[in-house]
Amino acid sequence: MAIEIEIDEKNTSDSTDNELPMNYYFYLLSFIGSLVLILLQPFEAAAVTTTHGWYSQPFVAPLFGLSIISIFSGTYLLVNTKKNFHCLKNVNPIELSFNAVSKYRTAIIISMFFYLFIASLSVVGFAISSFVLIISMLWISNLFNRFWVVMSLISVSILIVIFRVIVSVWLPDVWLYNLFPDSLSEFANMYL
């Protein structure tokens, strides 16, 4: 006794003919983003006087990586745009934007929290900013309970010991610590 499954070839071919590949927009954003960053490179990275040669300049490696990204994503776009040009006529950019925002809302929220983390480093310091970032990640992932809050405190303490004490990563003076007395302010700026 065999089970036969019929596949409706008309329905499957229509759905693939009227849609762009799933990663088309990723490559489009990669191509546009890498081109914009390549064009902004002269304004962001200045040449450094060195005796080691042009290859040791600080902008060479990022420029090389961005060039590779733009070449491969541009090639992918060229091939798939020719192949699926009829699909691009039916694309509504506003609807596409709303679908992308709803689909990637968690990643967008996490990116905004990370941006706030970077912006708050000079206002409230490394320790408080890191703790708030970790707590917000716990909240997003529905792990906001006593155990994970204690683990985040331990993690922030370990990060402070590694990056601020052992490695001595320099950060600018924190605005909040200027409100403390001088000796406490120096200690907080040095270690927190």
pLDDT tens digits, one per residue of 95-125: 877 877 888 788 889 999 999 999 998 899 8
Cβ proximity of 84 and 104 under 8 Å: no
Q: What gap in Å lies between CA 113 and CA 156, rounded to an integer?
A: 17
Q: What gap in Å lies between CA 155 and CA 131, rounded to an integer?
A: 9
Q: Residues 89, 52: one domain?
A: yes
Q: What gap in Å lies between CA 17 and CA 166, rounded to an integer?
A: 58
CB atoms within 10 A of CB 162: 11
Q: Is the pLDDT of residue 47 over 90?
A: no
Most confident range, picked from 16-20, 74-78, 168-172: 74-78
Of 103, 126, 155, the last residue of a domain is: 103
User: Can you give the C-alpha Rg of the chain in angstroms?
Assistant: 25
Domain count within the chain = 2
Of 57, 74, 103, the last residue of a domain is: 103
Mean pLDDT (the chain, rounded): 83
> Tens digits of per-residue pLDDT, 141-182?
899 999 999 999 999 999 999 988 888 888 888 888 888 888
Give the domain extent around 139: 105-191
